[in-house]
Structure 1
Amino acid sequence: MDLEYARTIAVEAAESAGALLLEGTRGALGVRAKGDAGDVVTDLDLASEKLLLERILTAFPSHSVIAEESGLVGEAGGQWTWLVDPLDGTNNVAIGLPTYVVGVALLRDGLPVLGVVHDPVSSQTWSAVRGRGAVCSSGVRLTPSYAPSPHGPLLAWTQGYDVTRADPGVRALKSALELRARRVLQLWAPLLAWAMLARGDIDGFVGYRAGVVDLPAGALLAQEAGIEIRALDGGPFEERIGGPAEVRSFVAGHPRAIPELLALLR
């Protein structure tokens, strides 16, 4: 498997989907409810996903894909599985907020080996191949620096769609972060938060029972840029996709910032 070729296909597909989204957000949106948790889906989600599926499966017809709206396409349990988030930030788009990205990841036996995040608004794309670093559109490697603030860290937060307001874990975590961090961003587009962390725009990222589809691409991008990811108790982060939602809770930041970030959560 040529991962550089796979990266080329993924980047081209994500950027084509991004162009479709950018044009589509200039017109009327078909928005409807999705599930019982207040989430929504738009016609743009579906159009972007269709494009991504066609591009990926044309290049790799024997692979399977797990897409945000379509679910599993192909056989489960294969060696190579793509994860597709055609519009990460749908709720933002639905209210006219231009904060959204496209995400694509490739897993080998459940382990992320390729991640691509494309921002149509800024025309920027970030990608990473396991063991080869993370780069932006121009080919420059992402290497975030460590610059602690006396006022506390600037963090991003995400949680899974199945997390309710009554969940005691999420309430305790968000309360601790609001009290101790300088700012806590809730972007409704976690892949964008991962890109910001990989670039060094924010100091840390905390997730609680994060979604399966929009986690691997961003997490690999950040790790390959030099970001460290831990479980909320400070233990190892489970990189392979699978298992209960609890293993998709994390704290991420520059390795020198991790002790401070973990202390915020205690």
Structure 2
Amino acid sequence: MDLDHARAVAVEAAEAAGALLLDGTRGEVGVRQKGDAGDVVTDLDLASEELLAGRILTAFPSHSVITEESGLLGASGGEWTWLVDPLDGTNNVAIGLPAYVVGLALCRVGRPVLGVVHDPVTARTWSAIQGRGALAPSGSRLSASYRPSPHGPLLAWTQGYAVSRQDARACLLKSALELSARRVLQLWAPLLQWVMLARGDIDGIVGYRAEAIDLPAGALIAQEAGIEIRALDGGPFEESIDGGAGDRSFVAAHPKALPGLLALVS
């Protein structure tokens, strides 16, 4: 498998989908309810998903593709699986907030080896190949920075769709973050938070029962930029998408900032 070629295909597809989304958000966006938890889906999600899946399966017809809206497409049970988030930040788009991205991850036997995140609003793309570093939009290597503040860390929070407002653990975690952090961002676009962490714009992310689709691409980019990810108890974070990831709860930060963040969530 030529991962450089796969990255080129993924970047081109993500940028094409981004152009579609950017053009679509200039007009009226068709929005409808998705499930019983107040989530929504738009016509743009579906159009972007169709474009991305079509390009991937054309380039790699033997691969599996798992999309946020349609589920499994193409072959199943193979070595290579693509995860497609056609519009990460749908709820933002639905209310006219220009904070959304496109995400693609390629996994080999369940583990991410390639990640691409594209921001249509700023026309910027980040990517990473496992063990080969992360690339900034300029093409230079991306390296996470550590800049501690006397006013506390700037953190981001993300949680899965199934987490209810009555979830006691989630409430305790968010309360601890609000009490100790300088700010806690909840952008409704986890992949955007991952690239912010990789760039050094924020100091850490705490995730609680995160979604499988929008986790691997961003997490791989952050890790290849120097970010470390741990389970909430400080143990290893299982990256596999094949059911071994537990509840996908984690803390992610620069290695120098990680001990303080783990102490906070404990």
The aligned counterpart of 2:156 is 156
The aligned counterpart of 1:79 is 79
- 1:126 equivalent to 2:126? Answer yes
What code does the residue aligned with 2:119 have?
D
Q: Is the 8 A contact 1:238 1:247 kept in 2?
A: no
Distance in 1 between the 2:25 and 2:75 partners?
33
What code does the residue aligned with 2:107 have?
L
Q: Is the 8 A contact 2:238 2:245 kept in 1?
A: no
- 1:210 equivalent to 2:218? Answer no
Count residues in correspondence. 266
The aligned counterpart of 1:232 is 232
Distance in 2 between the 1:254 and 1:77 partners?
35
Secondary structure in structure 2 of the residue aligned to 1:234: coil
The Cα of 1:131 is off from its aligned counterpart by 0.5
Q: Is the 8 A contact 2:3 2:114 kept in 1?
A: yes
The aligned counterpart of 2:47 is 47
Q: Give the alignment's Cα RMSD to 1 decimal.
A: 0.9
Provide TM-score, normalisation by structure 1: 0.98
Distance in 2 between the 1:260 and 1:8 partners?
38
Q: Is the 8 A contact 1:114 1:220 kept in 2?
A: yes
The aligned counterpart of 1:36 is 36
Distance in 2 between the 1:109 and 1:69 partners?
22
Q: Is the 8 A contact 1:231 1:247 kept in 2?
A: no
Secondary structure in structure 2 of the residue aligned to 1:197: helix
Identity of aligned residues (%): 77
The aligned counterpart of 1:101 is 101
The aligned counterpart of 2:56 is 56
Distance in 1 between the 2:246 and 2:169 partners?
11
Distance in 1 between the 2:230 and 2:149 partners?
21
Provide TM-score, normalisation by structure 2: 0.98
The Cα of 1:245 is off from its aligned counterpart by 6.5
The aligned counterpart of 1:110 is 110
For residues 213-244 of structure 1, what are the alpha-carbon distances to aligned partners after superposition, in whole Å with 9 as ceiling and x for unaligned?
00000000000000000000000010111326
Distance in 2 between the 1:150 and 1:87 partners?
36
Secondary structure in structure 1 of the residue aligned to 2:191: helix
What code does the residue aligned with 2:265 have?
L
The aligned counterpart of 2:89 is 89
What code does the residue aligned with 1:41 have?
V
Distance in 1 between the 2:184 and 2:126 partners?
23
Could you list the runs of 5+ residues in structure 1 that have no partner in the other structure? none
Distance in 2 between the 1:21 and 1:34 partners?
19
What code does the residue aligned with 2:187 have?
L
Secondary structure in structure 1 of the residue aligned to 2:7: helix
Q: Is the 8 A contact 2:228 2:255 kept in 1?
A: yes
The Cα of 1:145 is off from its aligned counterpart by 1.3
What code does the residue aligned with 2:99 have?
T
